[in-house]
Homo-oligomer: A and B are copies of this chain.
Amino acid sequence: MINQQYKKMLEGKSVIRELSEFAAARGGEIGYENVFDYSLGNPSVPVPERFAEVMRGLLGSRSSMELHGYSPSLGIASVKERIAASLNERFGMNYTANHIFPTSGAAGALAHAIRCVSAPGDEILTFAPYFPEYGPYVNMTGAVLRAVPADTESFQINFDRLEEMLSGRTAAVLLNTPNNPSGAVYSAQTLTRLGELLRKKQEQYGHDIFILSDEPYREIVFENVEAPYVSKFYDNTLSCYSYSKSLSLPGERIGYVAVNPGCTDAELISAMCGQISRGIGHNCPASIIQLAVSQVLDITSDMSAYETNRNLLYGELTELGFSCVKPGGTFYIFPKALEEDAVAFCKKALKYDLVLVPSDTFGLPGYFRMAYCIDTEKVERSLSALRRFVKEEY
C-alpha cells in the first residue's frame, strides 16, 4: 500500500519554492533579468575551465572500465588519498584515505554521518538560523532535530541556551560554518569554547557527543576573515563536505565525509558508512565525477564576485538603516526585517520585484535572507529597487 507518511509530506508548503515560482512567473511578464531574485543559493560563477579539461582528458585517456565500471563502495582509492592529502596540507590534519568517504554531495554525506553517530530517539542539536533541510535529514532517520535559539548579536553560538539544551539524549551537534543563511563564520574562540563544552558534557553523560560539521561554504570566505577548520577543535568530529559551492558543481552530487582520526571508532566509520549505504541506496558517487574532482582539488571557481556583491549589498543595507551582521563568507546576507513579521515584509518587497526569503523557514522569525550568487550587474540594478522599497513602505 502507498506509504501514507511520504504521501502526507506532499502537503507541506515551501516558502522558498513559492518565491521561486513567483520569480519565474514574474520573469515571464517583465523578463527574468528584471526580477531581483535573491531567493536561491545556486552558484552563479562558472565551473573552472580546468574541470572540463580534466573531464575531456579522462574521456580520452582512460579505459571504459576504469572510468565507468563499478567503483569500490567505500570510494576510489586514489580519490580518497588525494582528498586526504589536500586536507592535511591545508588544515594540518592527519587524515588517511581510510578516513575519507566519498558521497553524493553534502546531502549524501550528512545522510551517512547522522546515521553513524545516532540512533532513533536520540537528539541532534543545531543552531538557529539553520538550513531547513536539516529537519528532514535528521528527523527522517528517527533521530530528533532541536534548534538552539540564535545568538542574534553575531550569529555565532548562543552558549547559554546550548548548555541548557544539551542532555544525555544528545548524540550530536550539527553546525554549519560558514553559515547558510546568516553568512557568519564561526571564530576560533567560538569553536574552542564549543569543544571545551562538549568534552565536559561527554564526561558528564559518559557517552560520545559528535560534532557534525556541514561545510560546503568552507572556501567562500572573504578577505581578512579567518575560517578555522572545525575538526581541529574537537576529536569527535565528522566533517561533511560538498564541491557544489566551491567548484560550482551542485548537479554532479560530489562530496565526502572526513572522519577525524582521533574520534571514537575512527578506523571503522568509513566501513560503517559502506553498510549504511546498503540501506539507503547509495553505492558510490559517479565514478567519472570522483576521478575528475580529485584532479582539481586545490582550485575553486572564481568567487570574487561573491565578495563584490556582499560589499555592495552590505553597504546599501546598512546605509538604509538595516541592522545586519556583516557576512564573513558564503553568498548569503541576513539582515533584520523592518517589521516584526518578516513574511509580510518580504511580501511587500515583491511589489518592487525584490524576491527575498523570510527567515521563519530558518528557525528564527523577523529576518530575511538574500542569496547574492547572481550577476554583480543585477545586484547593482537592484539597489534602487531596495531604496524605493524602504522609502515607500517604511
Residues of A within 8 A of B (CB): 1-7, 9-10, 42-44, 46-47, 52, 55-56, 59, 63-65, 67-71, 103-105, 107-112, 115-119, 122, 133, 136-137, 139-141, 171, 207-208, 244, 248-254, 264-265, 268-269, 271-272, 275-276, 278-289
Contact = CB atoms under 8 A, between A and B. Distances in A.
* Tally of this chain's copies: 2
Contacts of A108: 281-282
Given A1-B208, A253-B286, A281-B280, A275 B10 contact: yes
Nearest to A278: B136
A59 B63 CA distance: 19
Given A5-B119, A137-B281, 6 more contacts: A3-B116, A3-B117, A10-B268, A68-B250, A112-B281, A280-B282
Given A104-B104, A141-B279, A265 B2 contact: yes
Contacts of A269: 2
Contacts of A10: 268, 271-272, 275
18 contacts: A2-B208, A2-B268, A2-B272, A3-B119, A7-B268, A10-B275, A42-B69, A52-B59, A56-B56, A68-B248, A105-B281, A108-B282, A111-B279, A140-B280, A251-B286, A280-B281, A280-B282, A282-B282
A251 B287 contact: yes
Contacts of A248: 64-65, 68-69
